[in-house]
Structure 1
Amino acid sequence: MRVLGVNPGLARCGLGVVDSAPGRPLTVTAAGVFRTPADADIGHRLLLIERGIERWLDEYQPGAVVVKWVFSRYGVRTGMGTAQASAVAILCAARRGLPVTWHTPGEVKATVTGSGGAGKAQVGAMVTRLLRIDAPPKPADDALALALCHIWRAPALNRLQQAHAAARPAPALARRQKDTIR
């Protein structure tokens, strides 16, 4: 499984690609950050983000995309830019029919370090260790941690979705149940 992790941001958008195969160590295929000029029009900035993500999708051809769940404790303006960049990533994946998953920062930290309250340095240290790289990617970024989180959580999430789908009554049965309840 090849996963593209996207740490969305209007000023800075982090991307990381991690490969996973049963019985083999996880490997980093690519990690990077691209920036948009702060003085540029919002539409132009979003277009730059879209072009960058499309290039990564073309080059690395992931089987899944994972995006950091948007929230902002710093204010509406920061949250809006992050949400807009997140929407661009989702749109790029949707164009290609790629599944998109979202993880909160706490889920990522808990999955990678064992603690949802871990700091950036601890996450970076664990990403470095788990991916067997010499140093945390600079600038510090959560895109690789997002990809790792998805690789480890996806099998369990898939089983839960399958169980939930199996537990739903068939459409014809559901209609009959509604008719008898009236």
Structure 2
Amino acid sequence: MTQTTRILGIDPGLRHTGWGIVEKDGSRLSHVAHGVINIDPDLAMADRLAGIFHAVSGLVNEYAPDYSGCEETIVNPSNPRSALKLGQARGAAMTALSYCGLEVAEFAPRAIKLAVVGTGKADKEQVGFMVARLLPRAGKMREDAADALACAICTAHHLPVRGLKGAA
């Protein structure tokens, strides 16, 4: 008999942070919930980060995931400032996950795309298409939520390998 494991994936962003929750039962994945945390861009940076922290903490309290995964930030050499800001949003989300007692698996965007689409060079449309195929009950979703579900799927695929939280 297998144990059902609940996984929360996060696609961090300062304006829109995607989140998605899947359950893994053996090799079967099922959709639980997904959405987007919308943060007012007119707020001060500290308030935006606090908003992400509180929203992610609320998701953990509401859905009680066993594991979490977060997409890593890629630095664009032509715009390093945006990577720094995105890193702050990512840090707020990861801090919330850790504060709530979850270990956070981190994945490069290429690794997430590879796990879901089969190629690390997939575009957002391909990721969304495959998430919809893998989780048909998820219905329509925004790109941020699709990316977060893809991160949750990637985390689910890596649980036995990474040995997160005592997994074999």
TM-score normalised to structure 2 length:
0.87
Q: Which has the higher strand share?
A: 2
Aligned to 1:29: 32
- Alpha-carbon distance change, 15 to 143 in structure 1, aligned in 2, over 3 angstroms: same
Is 1:151 the equivalent of 2:139? no
Q: Find the partner of 1:81 among 78, 85, 109.
A: 85
TM-aligned CA deviation for residue 136 of structure 1: 4.5
Aligned to 1:94: 98
Q: Secondary structure at the match of 1:55?
A: helix
CA distance in 2, matches of 1:7, 1:34: 10
Q: C-alpha offsets along residues 107-138 of structure 1, whole Å, 9 cap, x if unaligned?
A: 00111111111111111111101112364512
Structure 1 unaligned residues grouped into runs of 5+? 163-182
Contact 1:127 1:136 in 2 (8 A): no
Larger radius of gyration: 1
Q: Secondary structure at the match of 1:15?
A: strand
- Alpha-carbon distance change, 139 to 116 in structure 1, aligned in 2, over 3 angstroms: closer
Is 1:42 the equivalent of 2:45? yes
Alignment: residue pair count: 160
Residue 40 of structure 1 aligns to which amino acid in structure 2? L
Residue 145 of structure 1 aligns to which amino acid in structure 2? A
Structure 2 unaligned residues grouped into runs of 5+? none
Q: C-alpha offsets along residues 75-125 of structure 1, whole Å, 9 cap, x if unaligned?
A: 122212211111112211222221111000000011111111111111111
CA distance in 1, matches of 2:157, 2:143: 24
CA distance in 1, matches of 2:30, 2:63: 13
Is 1:128 the equivalent of 2:135? no
TM-aligned CA deviation for residue 43 of structure 1: 0.7
Greater displacement, 82-91 / 132-141 = 132-141
Which residues in structure 2 correspond to 1:166-181 (within 5 Å)?
Answer: none
RMSD: 2.0
Question: Sequence identity of aligned pairs in percent?
Answer: 31
